[in-house]
Structure 1
């Protein structure tokens, strides 16, 4: 429960235009906090503006915008209770075929931008004995094919979170990681569109090697998103991390994430490779001849393992 003293505190939520960020902003405002909701466009600001929610134009990759949110917080007499680093993009493509500009863009948004905002707001968080909530993913622990850039940035965010937690815990600031599984947000649809665009730019040889893989992954994302956790449900997990007096260092969001995190450490890399390959094959264009028999054998082995269908990642 939010106390009357907490109701006078600020929270910054990045990536609050849609999805989990917007739902998190609304959930925290409902609990009485004053939320500075980072959005990138004026029409997104108009959509989310409401009691307890103050939209702020914020692109976490632009230093002047990061400096502006830090100045806004510093000028407010209320304490900064939490920073929720939620902004993110999903870009999928094979390691060989994904242009370096896309690798840099993913890391700029999904890692370096969060670090920049955290650095800018840490003085206020230290004064208020607040906390940092980093929104990671099951992809921050287990990387599927075509998720190299996205999962790489999330793996790095997990490591940065561990390091930061050990640095600032003695100073009274808590650092928490939230790891969602499949969530019904727009990020998966945007990811599919981006993957198709990047696939269209692959060389003929790369298309031959990876075309079916991209199609299978897109089909998996589309089917998994429809059955994933709602953004509102994920927001309640984030709100728990924000408001619990003694939060855990990590929270999962969704049954699939919880199951994967429990089972993953007990599987060898090769076993996990086979399971993930079988999961993708169920969404691949139908093979023929010997390829069909091989796919059926791998799929049968995958079905024998106690592993959930891996859904589109946050």
Structure 2
């Protein structure tokens, strides 16, 4: 009887809920040993199961990243690392003018610099295992819609880093893949809508005149997406495909909306794309302000 092979390791950050948790479960179901980064003990207890080993991981804390690298390096079974799924992230829908600069820095720490730090720490193991880096971007990494400036800025940057890294480490046998979800029904969508509603109450009168209707429209559109967006399990299946495909594509989209928006971004001039995006958002504006948009 041939012994079953030792399962390879996959690291998934931001696995407390949503896409990350669904991805951890999907990869464990496919036979991988998943090191699932979570923020709290109760998240770890909820996720722990066959093939899933939760670890407390805040990707902005260097000591957490060092502990993760040590866990991988000292794996008791000497398992190879198949993939790092950089999934952790914070959603924000705020006009560029009103988002405090310190909050810009904090957002980039989580949505970009943390991913770079984890990738740097794990690249030696990924090179040894001929593994791959899966960066979870967003349709916002291809098109920056109104109030998505801060969030899209982090995702555009993540896409650029991914392109550079892919070209740098391809000779070492490590592949880099970007996954671009559109609307996915997760807690992140709900948090984004709540943040937008909270923001509306903090605008100055002048800012309220400029952005009040826009912020309300974005909140309404985001709330709508919780109904028609794809489930987290759909995103997890795409990510699992990126992990397991013999020759993965450099980019995958998740959901029809992401596929459509990225296609339009490739073929439409900027001004025409502006008009399409504005027309899509217009039905969500408060009635009294629709005429101005």
How does the TM-score come out when normalised to structure 1?
0.89
Aligned equivalents of 2:187, 2:91: Cα separation in 1: 10
Aligned equivalent of 1:277: 278
Q: 1:37-76 alignment to 2 at 5 Å?
A: 37-76=36-75
- C-alpha displacement of 1:275: 1.4
Q: Which moved more, 1:199-208 or 1:146-155?
A: 199-208
The 3-state SS of whatever aligns with 1:210 is helix
Q: Distance in 1 between matches of 2:39 and 2:150?
A: 23
CA distance in 1, matches of 2:196, 2:69: 34
1:52 is displaced (CA, Å) by 0.3
Does 1:224 find its partner at 2:228? no
Counterpart position of 2:33: 34
- Give the corresponding residue for 2:9: 10
RMSD of aligned alpha carbons: 1.2
Counterpart in the other structure of 2:107 = 106
Contact 1:13–1:38, Cα closer than 8 Å, also in 2: yes
Which is worse superposed, 135-144 or 100-109? Answer: 100-109
Aligned to 2:149: 148
Shift in Å, 1:88 = 0.5
SS in 2 for 1:81: strand
Secondary structure class of the residue paired with 1:35: strand
Cα distance per residue 1:211-248 (max 9 Å; x no partner): 11100000001101210111001100000000011101
TM-score normalised over the length of structure 2: 0.95
CA distance in 2 between counterparts of 1:42 and 1:251 reads: 32
Deviation at 1:264, TM superposition (A): 2.0
SS in 2 for 1:287: helix
Match of 1:188 in 2: 189
Aligned-pair CA distance for 1:204: 1.9
Deviating 4+ runs (over 4 angstroms) = none
User: 5+ unaligned residues in a row in structure 2: which ranges?
Assistant: none
**Any conservation in 1 of the 2:200–2:216 contact (CA below 8 Å)?**
no
| Partner SS for 1:96 | helix
Out of 246-255 and 257-266, give the one that drifted further.
257-266
Supply the distance in 2 between the matched residues of 1:149 and 1:263 (Cα, whole angstroms): 22
Distance 1:183 1:126 in 2: 32
Residue of structure 2 in register with 1:95 after alignment: 96
- 8 Å contact 1:93–1:199 — kept in the other structure? no
Deviations for 1:60-85, whole angstroms, at most 9, x for unmatched residues?
00110011101100001111110000
* Range with greater deviation from structure 2 (55-64 or 199-208): 199-208
Give 1:209's aligned residue.
210
Question: In 1, distance between residues paired with 2:203 and 2:102?
Answer: 14
State the number of aligned residues.
Answer: 288
Q: Does residue 173 of structure 2 align to residue 177 of structure 1?
A: no
1:122 CA drift (Å): 0.5
Correspondence 1:122-141 to 2 at 5 A:
122-141=123-142
Paired residues of 1:13 and 1:84 also in contact (CA < 8 A): yes
Structure 2: distance between partners of 1:263 and 1:285: 27
Please list every run of 5 or more consecutive structure 1 residues that lacks an aligned counterpart in the other structure.
Answer: 296-314
Tell whether the 8 Å contact from 2:264 to 2:273 is kept in structure 1 after alignment: no
What are the superposed Cα offsets for residues 118-173 of structure 1, whole Å, 9 maximum, x if unpaired? Answer: 00100110111100000001100001100000000000000000000000000110
Distance across 2 between alignment mates of 1:212 and 1:182: 22
Deviation at 1:263, TM superposition (A): 2.4
